[in-house]
Amino acid sequence: MPPILLAVDKTYPKGLMWFRRDLRVDDNAALYHALRSCRQVVCVFVFDSTILDPLPRVDRRVEFIRESLLELDEELRALGGGLIVRHAAAAEEIPALARALEVQAVFANRDDEPEALARDAGVFGALANAGVSFHTHKDSTIFERDELMTKTGQPYTVFTPYKRAWLAKVDDFFLKSYPSRGHADALAPPPEGWRAPVPSLEALGFAKSNLGTLEIPTGTRGAAILFEDFFERIDRYEAARNYPAVRGPSYLGVHLRFGTVSIRQVAGVARQLSLQGDAGAATWLSELIWRDFYFQILAHFPHVHEKGESKSFRPEYDRIQWHHGKHADQLFEAWCQGRTGYPLVDAAMLQINQSGYMHNRLRMVVASFLCKDLGLDWRRGEAYFALHLNDFELASNNGGWQWASSSGCDAQPYFRIFNPVTQSERFDPDGKFIRRYLPQLAGLSNGAIHAPWTATPVELEAAGVKLGENYPVPVVDHAEARERTLQRYAVARSKTLAKK
C-alpha cells in the first residue's frame, strides 16, 4: 500500500477521477489520492463500449452498474461534486476528457485483467503525450502483484502457504480505510454543459433485466444491507456455507466485483472476528484470501488467459482430448439449459440462468460434471459463467474452473470426481433446493429426488414424473463417465510423471 499523503500542498490544480470497478466514495484509494493531490477533482465513469458491445442486450451486470451509479452520482453531488457518465470506448474517451477538462492528472484504481492492462497502457501513452499524469492505485485486493512472494522471490502457486504468508503479513496498516470523505472539499461539479443524468438502459442499448424482481440490492447502500445481514450470521458460515437451500453465503460477490463495498472493510471485520476465535469468520476470510490468490496467479502467470483465450496453468493438461463434435454440443446444451437428468446439476444451472447467481458448492459440482462426467473442455464452462454470473471476475472464474478440471495451480487431483448424486444427498438432503428450481420433481420422496431414475414406476407415476418427458433421463452414466475421465486424463498424468 502506498504511504498516506501528509503534505498540505496540492500537486495538481485539477485532476480527473476515473471510476471503474470501485463504485463508492468511502474508502476508495484512487479517489482519496486524487482529493489529496488536486485542488479540484472532476469525476467520470465510462460505460466502455468495447466491453458492452459484445454482451447480450439484457445483462443484469449493466443494470447493476447503472443503478449503483445513480447512488454514486447522488452522493458525489451531496458532497459538492457529481459524475460525468459517458458511453464510449474508454481508451479514447478518457484522454479526450482529460484534454477537454484541462486536467493535469488522471486517477484510477488498478485492474489487473489482461484486457484492462492493455487498455490502461494505451491510456497512459495517450495521456503522457498530452502531458497528463496517470496514477493508479491498489483497491480491489489486500495484496497484489509482487506484494506477497516466497522467500526465494517467486510467486506462490499453492494456496496453503500463500494463506499462511497472507495472514502473517496482514495487519491494521493494510486494512486501514482511506478517509475520502474527509477531503471532499476538493470535489468539483461537472462543468456547465457537462452535467447530465446517468443514461438510461435504453440509451445504452440494453433492455431491463429481472434484477429488480430478484431484489438484488445495488450500490453501497445495498452492500451495507447485505453485509449487516451476513455479520449477524457469520459465526455460522463454516457450517452453513455448503448447503444451497440455506442462507449461508454473504451474497456480496457482485458488490466486491464492482467495488460497492471495500475489500479492506470486509476483510478487516472478518480478520478481527477470526482473531477472537470465530470459526465462521475465519473460513470466510479464507475465501477472501483465495480471491487475492487467484488475482496474483493471473498477474504472474498471464498465460492462463491471454488475448481472450484461456490456457491451462499446467500446460500438460492442454494435451487432453476433450469430447467434441455434434454429440458434445448437445451435451453442452443440456448442461447449459439444466437438462442433464441429474437434479442437483440441473437446479444449479437453472439458478444461474434465472438469477445470475450460483451457490459456491454448486459451482464446483457443475464444473466437475461438465469436465469429468460430460468430458467437455472446461473453457466452455468458463465462458458460460463469464457471460452469466453477476459477480464474474476473470481471475476467480479462471482459477475456479482450472481447480475443478485439475489443470490449475493447487487444483483438486484429476482422479477426484464429484458424484452428483452423492453431493446432492449430502448437501441438499431434503431436496429443498432441487424442488425450488425443479417443481416437476417436488412430489418425489427425499430419497428418490436426487436420482429420479432409481425410483419405482409406481413412485414416479404418483409424483407425476415422466422420465424423458417432463424430466430428462440422465445424459450419461456417472460410473461409466468416471472411467472415461480417468483414461482421458492419463495423457496429462503421463506427462507429469515424465517430468519427475
Q: Which of 378, 390, 393, 398 is catalytic?
A: 378
Cβ-count burial 32-49 (b if 16+ within 10 Å, e if not): bbbbbbbebbbbbbbbbb
Cα–Cα distance between 61 and 385 in angstroms, integer? Answer: 13
Task: Tell me if residue 18 is catalytic.
Answer: no
Residue 67: predicted pLDDT: 98
CA 306 to chain centre: 18
Name the catalytic one among 210, 353, 360, 419.
360
Considering the candidates 92, 144, 147, 287, report the single residue annotated as catalytic.
287
Whether residue 294 is predicted with pLDDT greater than 90 in this model: the reply is yes
* Average pLDDT value for residue range 258-286: 98
Looking at residue 414, what is its pLDDT?
84
Q: What is the pLDDT of residue 412?
A: 77
Q: What is the structure's pLDDT at 471? A: 98
pLDDT band at 483 (very low <50, low <70, confident <90, very high): very high
Single-letter code of the amino acid located at 82: G
Helix (H, G, I), strand (E, B) or coil at 131: coil
Given this structure, which CATH class describes domain 309-499? mainly alpha
Matching CATH topology for 1-139 and 140-178+217-300? no
Average pLDDT over residues 169-187: 97
How many other C-beta atoms can be found within 10 angstroms of the C-beta atom of residue 133? 17
What's the average model confidence in pLDDT over 192-208?
95
In the prediction, which pLDDT does 3 show?
A: 40
Task: Give pLDDT, residue 5.
Answer: 43
Confidence of residue 161 (pLDDT cuts 50, 70, 90): very high
pLDDT at 494 (0 to 100):
63
Give the residue-averaged pLDDT of 231-258. Answer: 97
**Catalytic status, residue 419:** no
194 a catalytic residue: no
What pLDDT is stored for residue 8 in this prediction?
A: 53
Helix-, strand-, coil-residue percentages of the chain, each rounded to 5: 50, 10, 40
- The domain spans of the chain are 1-139, 140-178+217-300, 309-499
378 is catalytic: yes
CATH for 140-178+217-300 is: 1.25.40.80
pLDDT attached to residue 495:
54
Mean pLDDT score of the chain: 95
- In this prediction, residues 250-279 reach a mean pLDDT of 98
Could you tell me the three cell numbers for 338?
439444466
CA distance 336 to 326: 15
Which of 322, 353, 425, 446 is catalytic? The answer is: 322
Whole-number pLDDT of residue 400 = 96
Q: Is the pLDDT of residue 457 over 60?
A: yes
Q: Tens of pLDDT along 106-126?
A: 999 999 999 999 999 999 999
Predicted confidence at residue 195, as pLDDT, reads 87
SS3 487: helix
| 401 is an active site residue | yes
Share of the chain above pLDDT 70, in %: 97
Residue 4 has pLDDT above 50, yes or no: no
Mean predicted confidence (pLDDT) in 142-153: 97
- Is the model's pLDDT at 337 over the cut of 80? yes
Provide the b/e sequence for 193-215 (b: ≥16 CB within 10 Å).
eeeeebeebeebebeebebeeee
Grid cell locating 98: 482529460
Strand 309-310 versus strand 305-306 pairing type: antiparallel
Q: Which residues contact 152 (CB under 8 A, 6 or more apart)?
A: none
Of residues 244, 239, 313, 227, the one with CA closest to residue 280: 239
Which of 18, 166, 290, 403 is labelled catalytic? 290
Mean pLDDT calculated for residue range 215-224:
97
Catalytic residue among 18, 335, 401, 403: 401
DSSP labels, 391-432: T--HHHHHHHHHHHHT-STTPPPTT----HHHHHHHHSTT-H
pLDDT band at 193, cuts 50/70/90?
A: confident
**With 80 as the cut, is the pLDDT of residue 499 above it?**
no
1-139 belongs to CATH 3.90.1200.10: no
Written as one string, the DSSP assignment of 47-83 is EEHHHHTTS-S--HHHHHHHHHHHHHHHHHHHTT--E
Task: Inform me whether the pLDDT recorded for 203 exceeds 70.
Answer: yes
